[in-house]
Structure formats: structure tokens, C-alpha cells
């Protein structure tokens, strides 16, 4: 029987044939794809012809096309709809793929061909894009150890294999902790909650096969519970469980994994000639050095901490009015902050939420993309990997641009958080290949037949992830290695965070924020209050984020800590972390930095990109039109379509004319 992962896909837009794919197909498909990729690499490396861009770089770009296709399906399924079999396959595949990657970058004959091209690059008549790809390819090989020899080369290979195993284990431990914990609610606890939280708790219990409502560790459920439950004991129990993910001892404890990961990263950096892993990692980012990162974070930390401390005093007074002595605790913050917001802004989450219907917010996202970039979205009736996922064809002026898949609801088989990925990336080397882009979120699923409602934070997440999707959809480059979001880590968040701003454009909310039961538009008074409260509690939000970024940086900017948890505590004490606020991502569940290298030493990148996104949206505000066609065209031409074709600072300056300072960020967060 033909393996569907290895056959040609005759589906619409060559979508993966999900209904034909079984978990048992992945291992043999990976084996076949790896064999083919290795044969292709050996052919390139041992080619008797003199190296040319076509027979080396072009060939290398296409060498593992089948492997990329299979992995594009597998890792999307493993993250969004995990099963015990898929988790086992992840553990099996991690060392195999790390070994394969090392075989490529540590292949002397292959690197010799690349290096020859680099040394003679001025004589090759290369286009700018080809020159960029050649530079990035050689740099990647060097940074992966191509210049190492002997024992150092072998040790680096072992380190990379071990790091791949550790990253997989870290994520799976976290997923298991999140999947296994829940807190049942009795009638008294339920009666104290607004209807939308009750509905979400009932749906969460149903998803787990239970008879009654439960609170899970899904952020979209636990946050409103913390906001609205007056039961302090239950709030503390839920909050502490959320913070304890990955630190519950036993088989799923991530603390030893974090320690070993940090030690191996530091050893890797030193093998490659760097003092610290942070110095190695940041060399290719916009920030360039740990000092530049720390300087930015501390410029934001000081005003954010001052705002948070003032808010803590105000919330403590509310706590005391309830007859509770002592300072406010982390599990109290959301509850009393919600009360205070109602007092200051006359804005109640329970009254607001019916106006933020998921389907209407999806319409808002699509309408914004249409008005800015002329994109149109048509629902696709095609089999997908899960019944909750849905797909649209993306077109412009009748031309196919992409397939977009949205998978929005939390479930036990999905890892936490929200992300954007591509099952297939845009490129032109192998023909006009258009992407298959996926947005994954973890919103609370309503009971059957009920309308899915979002919090304001959920709606922002929806816009954020679609900003990443636009970076993929509008990509217009030749080479997949620089396509879409293949850019500096501290630049990749610019399109996503910039797109968030359109959620706050009044005409978007006036059109799409309609009541789930009456279909009435959001009252003008409520809309005004909502926008006026946009920076409410920003001290808290900034402190919990910046603290995490500073810990990440400190972990990697020096010798690996003997005890990461002790090091975390020392850093938080040094910066004066408010006792009522905890890190957004404590070490044992800091998936951004411990499930792979992507955000290691790079969690700051959201803040670095925010400096640009605040300044970039200010350009639209200066025009007096959030949909200014010339600015939208410039944004696409200079950033969204360009992928990694140029250095990030060059792309930004082409759009804005200059690089920004931190002022716009502080103003946008209300921290001036």
C-alpha cells in the first residue's frame, strides 16, 4: 500500500490528505525522506564539477524537499493534536533529525564547495537575493561548527543531538502536566462565576470526558477564573498549579532538563569560540550584543516596576476592604485588578465579552487584511486533521495566494500558547509555490451550539498570530530559506505585534464588535471606555514579561548556573521583582527558551519588535488613516514580502526612513 506521505497529493492546492494519513505512516516516511535527502546531499558534496551557485546552493535548497513536506505535516499535528504515538515518534525523531542536520553542516566536502563560492562571490554574477542566501548559508555552516575539527567537531555533534532530545522531553513534560491537572467546581463555586466562565468550565469538563465543570490550566480558562472567582482558596489552588507546571517532581519535572540544557548551550558556544551562549546567539540578531538587550529591558523595567508597585498598593487597599490582612498575593491580582478596572473605567469583562465573538473577530481580521493588502478569504470545504480546525483559500485579484488554517480551541491534545507555522512555505525555486499557513490558539471552547466568546486578550492574540500569517502569505522571494518569517528573531514579532494595533481602530470595533445574542453593535460609550482602558494594568503585564526576558538573558550570558531555580531567584531579587507578581514564564515551564533554540537568549525579542511596531503604527496615525493605501503598500513591499532578503534594520528603514527609539513603546504602554 502506498504511503500517502510519500505520494503526490492530488488534493485541492496540494493540501496534505489528512484522512488518508495514519500515525503508522510517519516513521517509514521519515526513513525514506531522510535516505533521499542524504543521497541528495552526497551528490552535491561529491559532484566532480566545479562548484557553482546552481549545483551547490540551489541544489542544497531543494535537497530535503520531501523531508520538509513530511515534517511539515508531522510537527503541526504533534503540536496541535498530540497522541501518545505522536509523542513517542517525536522522541524517536529528535535525535535522528539532529544527527542528519549535523551531517550536513559538518560535511567537509560540502562546506568546501560553499566556501569556494563565498571566496569567489564577486566573480559569480549573483543577484542580490542569491548573494544574501550564499552569505546566510555559509554563516549557518560556520555557526554550526563547519570550521571545527576532530574531537571538537564530534563533541558538537553529540551536544546538538542531546539538546534535541532535551527540548522534546521538556515540551512533552509540560504538555502532560497541563493535560493531567484540573479542578472540579461545585455548585457554590460555579454560582459565583459569570455565565461565560461557567460555559467554558462545562465545555472543559466535557472535553475531558467528565460529568461536571472544571478549571484547567488553559490560559483562556484559568485567567477569567482568577478574575471572577471570589473564592480565594480556589484561586490560590488554581494559580499555584499553573505556576507549578514542569516543577511537580517525578517523571515530568523539567528542572534537571533546564540545568543540562543551559550547560550544553554554554559548552556549544565555547566550542564555537564565544564567551557565552548569549553572545553567540545575539550576533546575528538586530540587538547584536547582550548589553544592548539589557539596556533596552532596563529602560522599560524601571517605569514598569514603578507603575506596578503603585497598582499593587491600590489593589492591597481593595483586599483590606474585604477584611483580608497582609499584602496582595499573586493569586489575588487578577481578581482585584478586574474590580479596580470596573471602578476606574466602568468596564466589566462579563459585559464586554459578548461583543467579542470569535467568528466576528475572525471577520475583523480578514477585513483588515483586505483593506490593507487586498486579500480575500473563501472558506474551504476540505478534510483537516481535527474537527475544530477550519480552512480558507486566500486570493488577491483572483490569484491564489495561500491556504490559511485556523485552529482556535483549547484541548488536551494541544500544547499551550498560540503560534503560527507553515505546513508549506512560499518559494519560487521549484515553481510558484504558495504557502499553507496555520494559526493555533487555545481559546475556551463553548458548549455545543453556543457562541465562542473571546476576552480582549484573546482577541489581541487572534490579531497577533494573523500578523505572523500575513508575513507568510505575502512573502515573495525565490528561496525558502529566507521566506516569510525566516528573519532575525528580534524582527519576526514586528508584523504580528504591528497587526495587533488594528484591533483598536475604532471603525473595526464599530463594525465587528456585535453582541452574540442581540447582534447589536458595541455601544459607543463602551467602545470609548474600552479604548481608554487599553493601557490599564500595563505595569503588571510589562513586569511579568520583562522579568522573564531578563532571566532568559542572564541564564545565557555567563557560565551555566549550577541551580537554575536559585539563579532565577537571585535575578528577581536583584531587579526588585514585586512580590505580588511572578514571571510570565518561570524556568520549569519556559517553553520559549527550553524546547529549542528559537527564543533562547531571545525572549526579549517581543520587546525589541514592540519598539518598532509602536513606531510603525505611528506612521499610520501621522497620516490620519489606519488604512492609508500608500503606507500599506510600503509595509508589504519593504517588510511583509521580503522575508530575510536583507538585514532587518535595512528593511525597517526602507519603510520608516529611520530606526525608532524606545519612546513610542513607553507611550503606547502608558508608561511615560
So which residues are the catalytic ones? 465
CB atoms near residue 73 (< 10 Å): 23
CB atoms near residue 54 (< 10 Å): 9
Q: Are 578 and 305 in contact (CB under 8 A)?
A: yes
- Residues 338, 565: Cα–Cα separation, whole Å: 31
Q: What is the DSSP string of 434-477?
A: PPEEEEEEEEPPPSTTSPPB--HHHHHHHHHHHHHHHHHHT---
Q: What is the DSSP string of 572-584?
A: HHHHT--TT---S
| Positive or negative torsion for Cα 107, 113, 115, 118 | negative
Which residue is listed with cell 499553573? 242
Give ∠ CA 632-531-338 in degrees, rounded to 5.
135
- Integer-rounded Cα radius of gyration of the chain: 25
> 644: helix, coil or strand?
coil
CB atoms near residue 525 (< 10 Å): 9
Give every CB contact of residue 637 below 8 A, 6+ residues apart in sequence.
Answer: none
Give every CB contact of residue 335 below 8 A, 6+ residues apart in sequence.
Answer: 226, 227, 228, 229, 230, 235
Give ∠ CA 200-202-203 in degrees, rounded to 5.
65
Amino acid at each position: 500500500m502506498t504511503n500517502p506521505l510519500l505520494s503526490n497529493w492530488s488534493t485541492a492546492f496540494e493540501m496534505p490528505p489528512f484522512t488518508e494519513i495514519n500515525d503508522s505512516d510517519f516513521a517509514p516516511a521519515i526513513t525514506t525522506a531522510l535516505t533521499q535527502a542524504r543521497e541528495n546531499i552526497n551528490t552535491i558534496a561529491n559532484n566532480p564539477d566545479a562548484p557553482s551557485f546552481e549545483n551547490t546552493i540551489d541544489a542544497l535548497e531543494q535537497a530535503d524537499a520531501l523531508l520538509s513536506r513530511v515534517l511539515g505535516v508531522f510537527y503541526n499535528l504533534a503540536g496541535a493534536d498530540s497522541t501518545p504515538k505522536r509523542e513517542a515518534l517525536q522522541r524517536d525523531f529528535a535525535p535522528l533529525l539532529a544527527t542528519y542536520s549535523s551531517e550536513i553542516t559538518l560535511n567537509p566536502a560540502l562546506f568546501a564547495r560553499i566556501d569556494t563560492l563565498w571566496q569567489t562571490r564577486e566573480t559569480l554574477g549573483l543577484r542580490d537575493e542569491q548573494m544574501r542566501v550564499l552569505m546566510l548559508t555559509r554563516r549557518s555552516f560556520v555557526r554550526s561548527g563547519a570550521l571545527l575539527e576532530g574531537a571538537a567537531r564530534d563533541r558538537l555533534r553529540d551536544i546538538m543531538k542531546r539538546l534535541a532530545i532535551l527540548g522534546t522531553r521538556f515540551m512533552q513534560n509540560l504538555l502532560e502536566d497541563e493535560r493531567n491537572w484540573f479542578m472540579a467546581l461545585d455548585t457554590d463555586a460555579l454560582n459565583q462565576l459569570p455565565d461565560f466562565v461557567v460555559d467554558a468550565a462545562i465545555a472543559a469538563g466535557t472535553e475531558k470526558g467528565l460529568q461536571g465543570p472544571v478549571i484547567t490550566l488553559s490560559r483562556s480558562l484559568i485567567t477569567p477564573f482568577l478574575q471572577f472567582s471570589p473564592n480565594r482558596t480556589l484561586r490560590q489552588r488554581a494559580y499555584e498549579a499553573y505556576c507549578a507546571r514542569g516543577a511537580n517532581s517525578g517523571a515530568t519535572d523539567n528542572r534537571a532538563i533546564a540545568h543540562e540544557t543551559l550547560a550544553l548551550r554554554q559548552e556549544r558556544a565555547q566550542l564555537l569560540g564565544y564567551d557565552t551562549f548569549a553572545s553567540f546567539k545575539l550576533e546575528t540578531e538586530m540587538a547584536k550584543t547582550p548589553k544592548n538587550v539589557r539596556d533596552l529591558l532596563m529602560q522599560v523595567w524601571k517605569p514598569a516596576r514603578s507603575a506596578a508597585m503603585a497598582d499593587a498598593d491600590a489593589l492591597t487597599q481593595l483586599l483590606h476592604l474585604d477584611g483580608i490582612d497582609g499584602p496582595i498575593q499573586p493569586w489575588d491580582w487578577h481578581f482585584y485588578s478586574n474590580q479596580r478596572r470596573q471602578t476606574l473605567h466602568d468596564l466589566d469583562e462579563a459585559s464586554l465579552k459578548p461583543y467579542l465573538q470569535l467568528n466576528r473577530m475572525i471577520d475583523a481580521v480578514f477585513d483588515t487584511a483586505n483593506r490593507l493588502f487586498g486579500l480575500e478569504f473563501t472558506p474551504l470545504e476540505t478534510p483537516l486533521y481535527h474537527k475544530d480546525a477550519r480552512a480558507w483559500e486566500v486570493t488577491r485579484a483572483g490569484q491564489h495566494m495561500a491556504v490559511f488554517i485556523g485552529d482556535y480551541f483549547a484541548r488536551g491534545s494541544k500544547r499551550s500558547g498560540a503560534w503560527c507555522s507553515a505546513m508549506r512555505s512560499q518559494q519560487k525555486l521549484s515553481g510558484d509555490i504558495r504557502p499553507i499557513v496555520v494559526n493555533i490558539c487555545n481559546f475556551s471552547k463553548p458548549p455545543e451550539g453556543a457562541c465562542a466568546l473571546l476576552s480582549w486578550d484573546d482577541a489581541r492574540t487572534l490579531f497577533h498570530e494573523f500578523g505572523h500569517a500575513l508575513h507568510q502569505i505575502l512573502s515573495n522571494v525565490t528561496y525558502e530559506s529566507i521566506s516569510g518569517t525566516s528573519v532575525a528573531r528580534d524582527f519576526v514579532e514586528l508584523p504580528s505585534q504591528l497587526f495587533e494595533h488594528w484591533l483598536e481602530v475604532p471603525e473595526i470595533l464599530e463594525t465587528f464588535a456585535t453582541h452574540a445574542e442581540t447582534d447589536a453593535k458595541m455601544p459607543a460609550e463602551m467602545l470609548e471606555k474600552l479604548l481608554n482602558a487599553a493601557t490599564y494594568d500595563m505595569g503588571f503585564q510589562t513586569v511579568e514579561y520583562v522579568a522573564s526576558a531578563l532571566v532568559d538573558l542572564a541564564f545565557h550570558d555567563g557560565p551555566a548556573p549550577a541551580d537554575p531555580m536559585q539563579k532565577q531567584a537571585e535575578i528577581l531579587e536583584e531587579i526588585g521583582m514585586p512580590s505580588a507578581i511572578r514571571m510570565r514564564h518561570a524556568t520549569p515551564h519556559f517553553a520559549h527558551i527550553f524546547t529549542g533554540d528559537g527564543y533562547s537568549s531571545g525572549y526579549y525579542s517581543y520587546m525589541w519588535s514592540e519598539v518598532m511596531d509602536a513606531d510603525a503604527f505611528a506612521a499610520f496615525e501621522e497620516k490620519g488613516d489606519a488604512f492609508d493605501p500608500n503606507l500599506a503598500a510600503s509595509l508589504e513591499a519593504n517588510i511583509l514580502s521580503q522575508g530575510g532578503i536583507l538585514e532587518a534594520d535595512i528593511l525597517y528603514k526602507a519603510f520608516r526612513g529611520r530606526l525608532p527609539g524606545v519612546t513610542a513603546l513607553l507611550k503606547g504602554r502608558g508608561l511615560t
